Amino acid sequence: MRRTIEAARFHVDAGSERAEVLLESVLPLTKGDTRAHALRLLGLHRRERAPFGVEVALLREALEHIRDDALLEAQIRVALVNPLYHFAVDLMDDARTQAQRALEIAE
């Protein structure tokens, strides 16, 4: 599974549609930090191909699966800031909270 997720990461970076196929294939088999990592990558992949803000639900779900990986949690929270800040006025506070939490984790 980890190899598939790593392969998907390279496909995300390359902008390849294969990323989604790989990530969708492993999601049913994952849990915890591994699932959070796959969901984060899927969110980043879809952000480039779908309407603005589509990744928010995937990134929020990824946060629910975080267990022990503080770096991954910070990366997810940072990825949430931009769409939350620009998506709607009422989500700016949530964007600020995510940014502050990511900073706390990084420190």
Measured distance CA(94)–CA(51) in Å, rounded: 20
What pLDDT shows up at residue 16?
94
Measured distance CA(13)–CA(29) in Å, rounded: 23
Confidence check: pLDDT of 89 > 60: no
For 20-61, how does the pLDDT look when each residue is reduced to its tens digit (9 = 90+)?
Answer: 999 999 999 999 999 999 999 999 999 888 777 788 999 999
Question: Which residue has 């800031």 as its token pair?
Answer: 81
Asked if residue 40 lies in contact with residue 79, where contact means CB atoms within 8 angstroms, the answer is: yes
Confidence check: pLDDT of 19 > 90: yes
Confidence check: pLDDT of 62 > 90: yes
Q: Rounded to a whole number, what is the distance in angstroms from the first to the last CA of the chain? A: 31
Tokens representing 51 are 């309407």
Kindly state the average pLDDT of the residues 63-69. Answer: 96
